[in-house]
Structure formats: structure tokens, C-alpha cells
Amino acid sequence: MSRRSQLEHEVSLAQKRIKDAPKNTPANIRKIWEQELVDLEVELNNLTDDEEDNND
């Protein structure tokens, strides 16, 4: 799996976790999850061609 595919998958999972979280999830946990999502999205957006595995 290429790094881009892996990050896209992780972003998708993080988005689903936030979307499907129970209403009583503590705010500090939600904040951590949201920050993890932002970090993954930044990493994905900052990938260069050299970092991607173009041999999938």
C-alpha cells in the first residue's frame, strides 16, 4: 500500500470515528481525535512525489 493510500485510509477512519462517536464522548477525547485528523490531513496534503510509492 502506498503512503498516500495509507494516509487516505487513516483519514477516512478518523473521520468515521468522529462522526460515529456517541454523544456523551468527552470533549477532551473529541478534541484529541480532531487534532489527529488534522495532523493526518496535513501530512497527506504535504506528500511530495518522492515520498509516494508510484509502483502500486
The tens place of each residue's pLDDT in the chain, 56 residues long, gives 799 999 999 999 999 999 999 999 999 999 999 999 999 999 999 987 665 555 44
For residue 32, the model assigns a pLDDT of 98
- pLDDT of the residue at 1: 79
Please give the model's pTM, rounded to 2 decimal places: 0.81
Q: Copy the grid coordinates of residue 1.
A: 500500500
pLDDT at 53 (0 to 100): 53
C-alpha cell at 2: 502506498
Residues 14/36, Cβ–Cβ less than 8 Å: yes
pLDDT of residue 37: 98
Residue 40: how many other CB atoms lie within 10 Å: 20
